[in-house]
Amino acid sequence: MNIRTVPFDHPDAVKLNDQVQLEYAERYDGEGDETYLDPAMFRPPHGLYLIAYDERDRPVATGGWRSQEENEEGYTDGDAELKRMYVIPEARGRGIARRILGLLEEDARAAGRLRMVLETGTMQPEAIGLYTSSGYEPCAKFGYYRAYENSRCFAKSLTRP
């Protein structure tokens, strides 16, 4: 597995984002993620975007983080928000998401972020399982979907090793 830093608008990132949006629509009755994301949000040192490529150099997984500060959507100063974690169905179960998650946490910590936060939904039990088994705990809701009943928010401190 080869994990590379890429821009959020890289063609492979766009392709995987389109796939995850289709999966969201399937799981959530026709709705994709409507959170506004700009490629500049993922540029170091204020963010990072990764793609994992398999042995045939096919893009199979993605994930990124972006800086957040206290605002009306419920973020806290020093937050790093996890976005677009996704593994194509045929590559799941190999620990790729966990590897990407670890690299994103490491990078956000090095950038001075204090905690990693994420929002997911009740129709994504695999995601909830990954995050809770990686030390994430439920937290106050934040972000675009904070008022939605099926939204779940999690956080993990980046200040402890």
pLDDT tens sequence across 66-75: 999 999 999 9
Q: How far is CA 55 from CA 52, 58, 64, 100, in A?
A: 10, 7, 22, 16
Q: With bands split at pLDDT 50, 70 and 90, how would you rate the model's confidence at 31? A: confident
- Residue-number span of the structural domain to which 55 is assigned: 2-157
- The answer to whether residues 85 and 127 touch, using CB atoms and an 8 Å cutoff, is yes
- The answer to whether residues 41 and 47 touch, using CB atoms and an 8 Å cutoff, is yes
Residue 91 belongs to domain with CATH number: 3.40.630.30
Res 30: pLDDT: 83
Chain segment 92-116, per-residue pLDDT in tens:
999 999 999 999 999 999 999 999 9
Domain count, the chain: 1
Q: Which residue has the higher pLDDT, 161 or 27?
A: 27
Question: What would you report as the CA-atom Rg of the chain, rounded to the nearest whole angstrom?
Answer: 15
Long-range contacts of 42-46 (CB under 8 A, 24+ apart): 42/7, 42/8, 42/66, 42/83, 43/7, 44/5, 44/107, 44/111, 45/111, 46/111
